[in-house]
Structure 1
Amino acid sequence: MTINNDEHILEALGRCRVVIRDGTVIEVGEARITSCPLTKKMAYPLSTLDKESVKANIENRIRSWGMCTPRREVTDTRPFVGFGASEILSFGLATGLLDAVVLASDGAGTLIATSPVLVQGIGGRMSGLVKTVPYSEVIRRIEENGGIVIDRKNASLDQTAGVAEAYARGYKKIAVTVALPADAQRIRERYPDVLIFGVHVTGLTRAEAEMLASSADLVTSCASGTIREIAGKKALMQAGVAVPIFAMTRNGKNLILEKIRQSDDPVLFKMTRLPALGEQQPEPLI
């Protein structure tokens, strides 16, 4: 497969724009937040967020597991956080609560995954993906692990097309990760039974947060003040306090509850108004 323009664009670590060409970070935008509790727990931990630290983190991902290169690893079994999107969706596949997950990967674009290790290997390491290019090596690894790449030629990012393809192939219990509120609304209108997981929500306007909160089953909060305020108040359940996940529907709530039920970790349940936020939050919330 010939690649004419080997360029990837990410919105990483608090919606900081990062451009990678030929495996090299060539542009890093200004970080929009200064700190986040989750970045301190990364394989390459960051105590503060600025251009230099973000660039170093992305370069470490390229060296370690080939992000945005043909070397990109696509499977993993390690949970990175307790209630991350990939951890919850991987659990859903492993337990049969889901039979397909539509997500996006650098080097492949939108894909359908039916393997928990594929969801964790791709989603657990993925920052907000804006643009990518196809790598035949990455696509081959995904397909060897049971994945279906929607657009092998262009690696386009089209979650609606991914959901349509999943239904066309006979899957019934489908989940999809969605970064754009308009996409979430469109998918909900066309496919009312799909489980929608809103991701990469830092910087959403109030109108966008309202749209996502009314369309999604689950929403991560990232460094979003509007999601904490709007989705948090409407949520049926919250998992985590520093960077919480909000369950907006019974389907989302049931998935989290089942994950808790099958875990051996200690858990505190408390009836309270939401959102319930801890002292450590991303700074600033935007």
Structure 2
Amino acid sequence: MTEHLLEMAGALVRVSDGKIEVLSEPKVKWCPLRSGLYGIEAESRETVESVLRVHMKELGMYSPHRVLELSERPVSFGASEMISDGMKEGLVDAAVVVCEGAGTVVATRTEVVAALGAHMTGLVRTEPIEEIQAGLRERGCILLDDRCTIDQVEGYRRALAAGYERIVVTITGRRAFEAEEIRKMASTSAGEGPVIFAVHNLDVAEDQAEVLAETCDVVWACASRTVREVVGRQAKLQIGISIPVYALTDSGKRLVLNRALHFDESLVMHRATLPYGPEEKLPDPLL
């Protein structure tokens, strides 16, 4: 029996051997991204369960049948999409990401990064799924251990030890301390520093948002008013309005703009004071 704990739309969810239990009400009542992707106009325990069930059916998430390679790019400016496109252009050698059933993973193939990040939400805790771990290792991935340890600092250390230089590390806002530790480690290492992506930033405290602004290269606003106010004001570039993505460094801008280069639909770019976005297009509520 394996058990996994995650957050989706601010709801705490447990998955045990394929059974979904939504343990709390979603904190976000309406999300423009989830509305566009899944047609949800009012979040509830039922919508959280139904979306997760679709992910489990289509991608085999939280099961031995996990899809580990994917060519689709479901989110316009998602983290895995940016990393995958960066790998294609030689801007990224390796990505330190997280996968259920495996924990922290160092991945180097675009299709693997796309599969792991396609519909991954806030993974809090996970337990081993042997088939996922074996499949990732067969695809050249590095796992921290067999116990599903989630530790992005150690993941970055393993990526460096493996000889990778252009490394992207994803962290969550509530583990902003990892970004600080990674920056300290990078300051004593030779070669290029890492590009740090902060994803899943719901319920980020002001002090955590300040750390993100100081240490990260790209930060997703999610449904956080604090991230918009603290990080958005220091950003060099914002892509998107309803769920803004903020680039704070030139390295971050390069990966955001590279994703725009690979994006097939029309875009508009203009000068603006950041953060930018009309209230009616924002998630409800902002937390």
2:156 maps to which of 151, 154, 163? 163
- Whichever residue aligns with residue 158 of structure 1, its letter is D
SS at structure 2 position matched to 1:209: helix
The residue number in structure 2 matching 1:177 is 170
- 1:158: Cα distance to partner? 0.6
The residue number in structure 1 matching 2:275 is 275
Matched, 1:65 2:59: yes
Matched, 1:187 2:164: no
Deviation track 1:145-191 (CA, whole Å, cap 9, x = no partner) reads: 2222221x201101011000000000000000001111111111212
- Compared CA separation, residues 102 and 272, structure 1 to 2 (3 A): same
- 1:281: Cα distance to partner? 1.1
The residue number in structure 2 matching 1:33 is 28
TM-score normalised to structure 2 length = 0.93
- 1:262: Cα distance to partner? 4.8
- Whichever residue aligns with residue 130 of structure 1, its letter is V
CA distance in 2, matches of 1:194, 1:99: 11
The residue number in structure 2 matching 1:144 is 138
Deviation track 1:28-82 (CA, whole Å, cap 9, x = no partner) reads: 311111000111233x432211112112222222222221111111221111121
Q: CA RMSD in A?
A: 1.4
- Whichever residue aligns with residue 130 of structure 2, its letter is S
User: Greater shift after overlay, 125-134 or 267-276?
Assistant: 267-276
Matches within 5 A, 1:125-274: 125-151=119-145, 153-179=146-172, 180-192=175-187, 193-274=193-274
1:119 maps to which of 113, 130, 133? 113
The residue number in structure 2 matching 1:17 is 12
- Compared CA separation, residues 264 and 38, structure 1 to 2 (3 A): closer
- 1:264: Cα distance to partner? 4.8
CA distance in 1, matches of 2:275, 2:30: 20
CA contact (8 A) 1:197 1:216 kept: yes
User: Greater shift after overlay, 232-241 or 183-192?
Assistant: 183-192
CA distance in 2, matches of 1:27, 1:260: 36
CA contact (8 A) 1:28 1:55 kept: no
- 1:227: Cα distance to partner? 0.5
CA distance in 2, matches of 1:167, 1:6: 31
CA contact (8 A) 1:234 1:248 kept: yes
SS at structure 2 position matched to 1:256: helix
Uncovered stretches (5+) of structure 1, i.e. residues with no partner = none
- Whichever residue aligns with residue 206 of structure 1, its letter is E
- Quick one: percent identity of the two aligned structures? 35
CA distance in 1, matches of 2:96, 2:184: 17
CA distance in 2, matches of 1:132, 1:191: 28
CA contact (8 A) 2:22 2:48 kept: no
User: Greater shift after overlay, 256-265 or 20-29?
Assistant: 256-265
CA distance in 1, matches of 2:268, 2:248: 20
TM-score normalised to structure 1 length = 0.93
CA distance in 2, matches of 1:91, 1:144: 22
CA contact (8 A) 2:213 2:231 kept: yes
SS at structure 2 position matched to 1:9: strand
SS at structure 2 position matched to 1:238: strand
SS at structure 2 position matched to 1:191: helix
